[in-house]
Amino acid sequence: MRKIATILVLVFFVISCKTGDDKDSYTLPTSNGNTNRIMVVTKGADWDGKIGDAIRTVFGEHQVGLPQPETLLSVSQVDPVGFSSFMRHGKAVLILKRGVKEGITVQKNRYATPQIIVHATAKDEAGLLKILNKRGKEIIKLFKDEDIRFTQRLFKKDRIDETKFKTIKSIGLTLDIPKRYRLVEDTGEFIWFRQHLKSGIARGDGTNNILIYSIPLEDENKIADNITAVRDTIGKKYIPGSKEGMYMITEQAYTPFTFDAEIDGKKAYETRGKWEVKNDFMAGPFINYTIIDKKNNRLVIFEGFTYAPSVNKRDFLFELEAIAKSMKIN
């Protein structure tokens, strides 16, 4: 009987120590690290040389549409010798190493969960520099996409019940908005949610905001050119300032950037820029997704905007991006 018990304990220990990408990952420790931040594993000499310069150039590109310069990703470095024990639990890791087989490989949930490790391997310094310069945007996308999925999983656990809101039911969609967002207005054609940023880095009257509405689809070739005009019309109608004659508009001194995108398998446009209140001093960044819903002959529009004076705003906009990309249109 004692032998059987010993065998069972050994079997349980072996099973518990297994690490896999999915089904066994629950045995792993929880990863550490915030969104939009990666740890680079490379030698100190490389970090202080050409490789470090390339990393800072590629990952140090500024996110468009923000009032103050903020990089796409924040980067820290650790020497391979130090990449052990607790340091291996980082949520997002880029490992640069020398090897015969050049290229990029991805591991998920290797030492912790959730975790993504991107291995960039080349024969020498010149090869690593080539990977960083040629495939840097691809590496950034790997990390950003994983951060989006991680954030969406968190939001899904504590989301609002969208069936309670007239506009969302009328448009016919689902999306994962955290319960900390509160309803401001719901007309049946337009809905506005707001989260007050009363703690953390945005102490004061800062807010994160979500707007959702739809308009008829007319000339598909003119959608991108009309995004600013549409959002200014909505701002005048629904987003007032503190006094009469004040309302939200697109900042006139800054031209927004528009990119091709995809939401729920549908063609869309992503626009990033700055908003301001006409005849007032309030301003901040916005992100707009204009989605072409051909089935219903309309455009479904999700917009997020942030008001958080004197603090960085990249991560607030990232949260709004994650919410937008959770959208499913009926």
- In order of 95, 237, 262, 280, 302, the CA distances from 320 in angstroms are 29, 22, 15, 25, 9
Compute the distance between CA of residue 4 and CA of residue 64 in angstroms, rounded to an integer.
Answer: 63
Instruction: Tell me what the mean pLDDT of segment 308-320 comes to.
Output: 93
Picking from 71, 70, 118, 72, the residue whose alpha carbon sits closest to that of residue 91 is: 118
DSSP 3-state assignment of 262? Answer: strand
Compute the distance between CA of residue 248 and CA of residue 187 in angstroms, rounded to an integer.
Answer: 18
The residue among 156, 184, 213 that closes a domain is 156
In a domain, 9, yes or no: no
Percent of the chain at pLDDT exceeding 90: 81
pLDDT band (50, 70, 90) for residue 21: very low
pLDDT digits (tens, 9 = 90+) for 202-236: 456 789 999 999 999 999 999 999 999 999 999 99
Domain count, the chain: 2
User: What's the confidence (pLDDT) of residue 287?
Assistant: 98
Q: Are 318 and 236 in contact (CB under 8 A)?
A: no
**Which string of DSSP letters, residue by residue, matches 143-191?**
HHHHHHHHHHHHHHHTB--GGG-HHHHHHTEE---BTT-EEEEE-SSEE
Domain of 178 in residue numbering reads as 159-329
Is there a single domain that holds both residue 150 and residue 274? no
pLDDT digits (tens, 9 = 90+) for 79-138: 999 998 889 999 999 999 999 889 999 999 999 999 999 999 999 999 999 999 999 999
User: What's the confidence (pLDDT) of residue 26?
Assistant: 54
For the chain, the first-to-last Cα distance in angstroms comes to: 60
Is there a single domain that holds both residue 257 and residue 191? yes
Instruction: Tell me what the mean pLDDT of segment 190-198 comes to.
Output: 92
